[in-house]
Amino acid sequence: MSSLSLDLSKPSDVATFLADTPFACSKADVLTGGNANFVFRLHLLQPYDGCPTAVLKHSKPWSATGQLSLAIQRQETEAEVLRRVRKMIPEDALVTVPKVYLYDNQAHIIVMQDCGPTSRTLKQFLIDEPAGLHPDEAKRLGAVLAVFVSTVQDEGTKDRELMELVAKNGDMRGIIAQYYYGRLIESLVGTEDKPLPYDQSFELSPEDVTTLKEIVKDATDVVMNNSSSFTVGDSWTGNAIVDTEPDLGEGREGYVRLKHVFIVDWEVSKPGLACLDIGQFSAELHTVRSFYPGKSGYSSVDDILPAYLGTYAARKGPLSLQDVQRMSVQIGTHMAVVTPQVSTWKSKERVREFVEESIQYLLKGKKGDVNWMKSGESILKDVWRVESSPS
Q: What is the pLDDT of residue 1?
A: 47
374 and 337 Cβ atoms separated by less than 8 Å: no
Per-residue pLDDT tens for 92-117? Answer: 999 999 999 999 999 999 999 999 99
pTM to 2 decimal places = 0.95
- The string of DSSP codes covering 37-76 is SEEEEEEEEEEETTEEEEEEEE--SB-TTSS-B--TTHHH
User: Across the strands, what pairs with 76?
Assistant: none
- Tell me the domains of the chain and their CATH numbers: 3-113 (3.30.200.20), 120-385 (3.90.1200.10)
Distance CA 119, CA 123 (A): 12
Query: Is residue 225 classed as helix, strand or coil in its secondary structure?
Result: helix
Q: Which of 337, 338, 222, 238 is nearest to 274 (CA)?
A: 222
Torsion, Cα 109 115 120 123, to 10 degrees, reads: -90
Percentage of the chain lying above the pLDDT 90 cut: 87
Distance CA 257, CA 255 (A): 7
Helices and strands, number each (H, E), in the chain: 13, 11
Per-residue pLDDT tens for 105-151? Answer: 999 999 999 999 999 999 999 999 999 999 999 999 999 999 999 99
Sequence-distant (≥ 6) Cβ neighbours of residue 331 within 8 angstroms: 279, 282, 283, 286, 358, 361, 365, 379, 380
9 pLDDT above the threshold of 70: yes
Query: Is residue 101 classed as helix, strand or coil in its secondary structure?
Result: strand
Neighbours of 18 (CB within 10 A): 25
